[in-house]
Amino acid sequence: MSFILKSNKAEKPTLIYFKYFISKKEGRFVYSTKQKILPENWDKETQMPLIKRGRSDLSLIKRNLNKYSDFFEKTISNFDLNNTSITKENLKKAFVKEFDKEKATKAFIYFSDYATDLVERMPNMINRKTKTKFSKNNITNYFVTTQKISEFEKYRNKRIRLDQISRELYNECVYYFKEVKKYSINYAGLTIRIFKSILNKAHEERYPVNKEELSYFTGLQESVDTIALNEEELSKILNLDLSKDKSLQNIRDLFIIGAWTGLRAGDFLSLPEINIADRFIERKLEKTKNNTGKTVMIPIHPHIKQIIKKRGMPKSVNKTLFNEKIKIICKRVGLTEELNGKIIKSFSNEVTGQKHKRKVDGTYPKYLFVSSHTCRRSFATNLYKMKFPHVSIMQITGHKTESSFLKYIKVTPSEHAEMLESFWNNYYQKD
């Protein structure tokens, strides 16, 4: 790293450049500091302005140059931390962002251009909430949202400018995703929340996003119709004779493993071989806003041991197939109680013929509500009803807060009443 003059023989003040040799392949990174000095006031050995009494202008140039060297050291350190390659392009982006705010601001005018660039940079960025790199799921969600906003731009026949974010735009988005695309409220809300996150990032990077108008972008959300299966229902599923249908038998075994480990679908559907001689199943969780991302240890439940002893480890399957087949199994064991809620149905647009899916309110048999996520909710709910300590359950499920954990508990009012009645009976028996 060094500073050089544009011309050592200039008779007028000449530009000072920052220079750094990266490698033979990359060559030198050179960047104008916009500072100017007469060559006669430049010390070639120290590569800094000469210190002269009464020349505060030279001292100011030196302080400004020190900002470049300090920033460079900080940037290299961040590159190393984030595993970012030291290239001329990456250094230029960092220097422009820090020292040429006007140029950085003008880099992108439209949302889709900025968002596309952001998604490309995300693998080397740190998520401020989790303090780790963005996960593949995060990056995929941002990419998909960028695509959906691009479709929205085509629908409105107008691109979204970063300096024209408004509550009117928000209302347009809500109408488009709910009424035109027929998304569920929660899915529309998720898309808008990620849209807002990208705009917040643009504001952080000094793009002219109106924060006051952006605050109007609130995520839509409604309670999700989910269920948990109790121990009796899980036992019925475990004991169902599926010996003539190996595919359903495999799905059933995976479901029981999920229901007695509390793991997310992506984890229990792809678990490595379980050795029943071991006491615990050990698994590293993916870090999310509600999840710690720590390694968890889960005792091997007797039902899981029973499965492994009889048939060995079930084969991994994709979530779509799992969710389809588990409903067939639950129907066979008699989970046909009628429940009010929403299920996903397919529709065709009468004009375009395009197929889409959305949730529809109605009364449906219980088995239609069962999915891979039922496993995790059943695990948390059953342990809660067993009066196992909240803190210990959270350590296994990986939840950060009790509020996020309690969202998983599915206990009916009558079950709450029975739990209180049992508590009172035990309490007053002490007297």
What string of H, E and C letters represents the secondary structure of the chain? CEEEECCCCCCCCEEEEEEEEEECCCEEEEEEEEEEECHHHEECCCCEECCCCCCHHHHHHHHHHHHHHHHHHHHHHHHHHCCCCCCHHHHHHHHHHHHCHHHHHCCCCEHHHHHHHHHHHHHHCEECCCCEECCHHHHHHHHHHHHHHHHHHHHHCCCCEHHHCCHHHHHHHHHHHHHHCCCCHHHHHHHHHHHHHHHHHHHHCCCCCCHHHHCCCCCCCCCCCCCCCCHHHHHHHHHCCCCCCHHHHHHHHHHHHHHCCCCCHHHHCCCCCCCCCCCEEEEECCCCCCECCCEEEEECCHHHHHHHHHHCCCCCCCHHHHHHHHHHHHHHCCCCCEEEEEEEEEEECCCCCCEEEEEEEEEEEHHHHCCHHHHHHHHHHHHHHCCCCHHHHHHHHCECCHHHHHCCCCCCHHHHHHHHHHHHHHHHHCC
pLDDT band at 246 (very low <50, low <70, confident <90, very high): very high
pLDDT of residue 145: 95
| Both tokens assigned to 219 | 């995520």
Cα–Cα–Cα angle for 157, 158, 160, rounded to 5 degrees: 145
Give dist(CA 108, CA 119) in Å, integer. 14
Q: Is the predicted pLDDT of residue 211 greater than 60, yes or no?
A: yes
Give the pLDDT mean for 173-201: 90
- pLDDT value at residue 313: 93
**pLDDT for residue 323 is more than 90:** yes
Q: What is the pLDDT of residue 285?
A: 63
| Predicted local confidence at residue 136, as pLDDT | 85
Q: pLDDT by residue (tens digit) across 12-66?
A: 999 999 999 998 888 899 999 989 999 999 988 899 998 888 888 888 999 999 9
pLDDT digits (tens, 9 = 90+) for 45-57: 899 998 888 888 8
Which is more confidently placed, 96 or 333? Answer: 333
pLDDT at 430 over 70: no
Largest CA distance in the chain: 101
pTM for this predicted structure: 0.55
Average pLDDT over residues 152-180: 93
397 pLDDT above the threshold of 90: no
Q: What is the mean pLDDT of residues 251-265?
A: 92
Q: Which two tokens stand for residue 85?
A: 């390659």
Q: Which class for 329: exposed (0-12), middle (13-18), buried (19 or more C-beta within 10 A)? A: buried
Confidence of residue 182 (pLDDT cuts 50, 70, 90): confident
Count of other CB atoms within 10 angstroms of residue 93: 16
Mean pLDDT in residue range 59-74:
92
pLDDT at residue 293 in the model = 59
CB atoms within 10 A of CB 47: 16
For residues 206 and 22, which has the higher predicted lDDT (pLDDT)? 22
pLDDT at residue 241, rounded to an integer: 95
Q: 83 in the Ramachandran plot: left (φ > 0), alpha (ψ -120 to 50) or beta?
A: left
pLDDT of 330 over the 90 cut: yes
Rank 99-103, 136-140, 407-411 by mean pLDDT and report only the highest. Answer: 136-140
Which pLDDT band holds residue 286 (cuts at 50, 70, 90)?
A: low
* Residue 343 pLDDT grade (very low, low, confident, very high; cuts 50, 70, 90): confident
Asked whether the beta carbons of 372 and 259 are under 8 A apart, the reply is: no
Q: Average pLDDT over the chain, rounded to whole?
A: 86
Q: What is the pLDDT of residue 143?
A: 94
Closest residue by Cα to residue 369 from 251, 229, 227, 230: 227
For residue 412, pLDDT beyond 80: no
Domains assigned to the chain: 2-99 (no CATH), 105-214 (1.10.150), 231-427 (1.10.443.10)
pLDDT exceeds cutoff 80 at 190? yes
Average pLDDT over residues 226-242: 93
Stronger pLDDT, 397 or 179, i.e. the higher one: 179
Instruction: Give the mean model confidence (pLDDT) for residues 125-142.
Output: 82
User: What six digits make up the tokens of 312?
Assistant: 């060995």
Higher pLDDT, 298 or 356: 298
Phi, psi of 126 (to 5 degrees): -105, 130
Residue at 12: amino acid letter: K
Once rounded to an integer, what is the mean pLDDT over residues 172-201?
90
